[in-house]
Amino acid sequence: MALDIENGDVLVVGSSSYAIRAVEHWPLAGLAASFGGFQTSSASTKRASTDGTTGKRTLATVESSLTILPVMPLDPETRERFGDLASPHKLRQTFLHDSSELLRLVVEAAE
């Protein structure tokens, strides 16, 4: 089953939160199906929802127990490909996978 992660979600890694600005899906065909040998972190994603009665916006967990590579600087090629991601924050990237696909997440780091 594909991961339910979309632009606008929040990636939570430990005590740090990152706004997800872009999600790139890659099929796993021909790629390694694990991050074995790499340093990994546990993460979850949250999505904003609005209470129909009060109109209050809250973040609810959508995906949990995700294994991701560390959040790292965005490489120049990816920055160029996603040129429309103007942000006052530093853009970073990380990768995660499930049984059918590999995802690159471009996130904002408020550093």
Q: pLDDT tens-digit profile of 74-94?
A: 888 887 777 766 666 788 999
pTM for this structure? Answer: 0.81
Instruction: Give the number of other CB atoms < 10 A from CB of residue 77.
Output: 8
- The domain spans of the chain are 10-109
CB 50 within 8 A of CB 56: yes
Checking if the pLDDT of 99 tops 80, the result is no
- What are the residues facing 103 on neighbouring strands? 25, 96
Q: pLDDT tens-digit profile of 40-86?
A: 889 999 999 887 788 788 899 999 989 899 999 988 888 777 776 66
Q: What are phi and psi of 60, to 5 degrees?
A: -120, 140
| Helices of type H across the chain | 76-81
